[in-house]
Amino acid sequence: MVLRLEAVVFDVADATAVAAFWAGLLDREVLTEPGGALVPGDKTQVGLRFVTSDTLQVGPRRLHLHLTSTSLEHQQRTVETALRLGGRHIDVGQGPDDNFVVLADPGGNELCVIEPGNNYLAGTGYLGEVTCDGTRDVGLFWRDALGWPLVLDNNGQTAVQSPLGGTKISWDSWSESPTHPKNARNRQRFDLVTADLTSEAERLVSLGATRLADRADRVEMADPDSNEFGLHPA
């Protein structure tokens, strides 16, 4: 099994603008792609892909990103940089005692700048977490799919992390039913790459995934919570 999480994908109206925002915020490069742009990651930090799309967001977003802070000054600098690059403050119901800051990127995607001293995200790097609306079962699916150990399994919350460390991916049921019938494809999803597309697709189906469609450059699949993801050849 060799399956790699290449990027979290975001459908946005202007992929160039949103990719530039994240590249500036994370101090990464931008790679232009047909229909969008990639802000590549590395062995421990997940990449971000932005695809130009005129589809509208239907319902709440199923995932968002958490950035870490080494000090209060660092947290403030991150917020100031995000605002300068085109981000904005948003209210998602956070209280006055919450120490994290909630922002949206130019595409409307939420992100949280986490306060310093957060032990759960210690040592994850700057892009500390991709946090998702999902069941415990889907967390276990992704544990087995990626071969990443489970680093949290408590009261329905799960998280996995590469054996090399870095960005965590977590699931918690924000909504009453993360598996409710959907009217449209998620505008946020995962892109994975593998050297053996056929065998890997079969393995993922055996773990509980659904094979949705075969495209020229990928296999479109869905995890047990009906979240779409793309499986691409390496």
Query: Measured in Å, how far apart are the chain's first and last C-alpha atoms?
Result: 13
Whole-number CA gyration radius for the chain: 17
In a domain, 39, yes or no: yes
Evaluate whether residue 88 is within a structural domain. Answer: yes
What was the pLDDT predicted at 176?
Answer: 52
C-beta neighbour count of 189 within 10 angstroms: 23
Query: What is the structure's pLDDT at 61?
Result: 85
Residue 146 lies in a domain: yes
124: Cβ–Cβ under 8 A, 6 or more apart, which residues? 68, 161, 165, 166, 167, 168
In a domain, 87, yes or no: yes
134: DSSP letter:
-
Task: Report whether pLDDT(14) > 90.
Answer: yes
> Each residue of 188-214: pLDDT tens digit?
999 999 999 999 999 999 999 999 999
- Report the pLDDT value the prediction gives residue 226, as an integer from 0 to 100: 93
* 18 assigned to some structural domain: yes
2 within a domain of the structure (yes/no): no
Q: How many domains does the chain have?
A: 1
Q: The pTM is what?
A: 0.93
Report if residue 47 sits inside a domain. yes
Q: Which domain holds residue 94?
A: 7-233
Tens of pLDDT, residue by residue over 97-127, are 789 999 999 999 999 999 999 999 999 999 9
Cα 64 to Cα 122, 164, 215: the distances in Å are: 18, 22, 27
Cα 223 from Cα 142, distance rounded (Å): 8
CATH of the domain at 58: 3.10.180.10
CA–CA separation, 27 and 155 (whole Å): 36
| Dist. CA 65–CA 115, nearest whole Å | 14
